[in-house]
Amino acid sequence: MRIRNRKINPTMVSLIVLELIYGLIGIVIISGLHFVFGVAEKIFGDKYIYIIIGFLIGILMSIILVMLMARTVENMLSIGDNGAVKEGVIGALIRAAIVIAVIVLLLVTHVGNVISMLIGLFGLKLSAYIQPIADKYIKKENK
């Protein structure tokens, strides 16, 4: 499958799917902390709706960051040795700037909880660690 003459990166797709699964599990856990135990507000220091919004912003950000990373790696591979390091550094700086800008935006506007946003963003790391195991399992099931 191609989009705009580019192949869809299967690793990117599996990371996004794992991130969405992480998001669903996170929403269930946060909702359980709120509705069953009544401690979500005490843990996060904010209203339940802001906690969920912050978490969803973190999930959305991690999906965007996965797509940006995939594009950066693709560009690095097409450039070759000459500009690959520069392209990688620029990509990392852009991703860091996005994260910092969203954190500042959340702190200023108080649209969502920053701590829950960071927990949602952490799903990117968790998905990256789980992705090779999930791919092995999927390939094993397909055979």
Residue 2 pLDDT:
47
Distance separating alpha carbons of residues 117 and 103, to the nearest angstrom: 8
Tell me the average pLDDT across 105-126.
96
Query: What whole-number percentage of the chain has pLDDT above 90?
Result: 73
Query: What digits encode the pLDDT tens for the residues 116-132?
Result: 999 999 999 999 999 99
1, pLDDT greater than 80:
no
Q: Which domain holds residue 125?
A: 2-132
Q: Which residues pair with 6 in a beta bridge?
A: 3
pLDDT at 24: 97
Q: Which amino acid would we find at residue 20?
A: L
Choose between 1 and 114: higher pLDDT. 114
H-helix segments, the chain: 10-31, 40-44, 48-79, 84-109, 114-142
Examine residue 140 and state whether it is found in any structural domain, yes or no: no
Q: For position 4, what pLDDT does the model report? A: 57
Total structural domains in the chain? 1
Asked whether residue 105 is domain-assigned, the answer is: yes
Amino acid sitting at position 60: L
Q: Residue 103: inside a domain, yes or no?
A: yes
Question: 57-78: per-residue pLDDT in tens?
Answer: 999 999 999 999 999 998 888 8
Answer yes or no: is 141 within a domain.
no
User: pTM for this structure?
Assistant: 0.89
Instruction: Supply the pLDDT for residue 120.
Output: 97
Res. 141 pLDDT band, cuts 50 70 90 = confident
Burial of 15: CB neighbours in 10 Å, binned 0-12, 13-18, 19+ = buried
Backbone Cα Rg of the chain: 18
- Judge whether residue 134 has pLDDT over 90: no
CA 63 → CA 16, 24, 80, distances in Å? 6, 14, 26
- What does the alpha-carbon distance between residue 92 and residue 88 come to, in Å, rounded to a whole number? 6
In angstroms, the first-to-last Cα distance of the chain is 21
* 29 part of a folded domain: yes
Please check whether residue 121 lies inside any domain of the structure. Answer: yes
In a domain, 139, yes or no: no
Residue 73 lies in a domain: yes
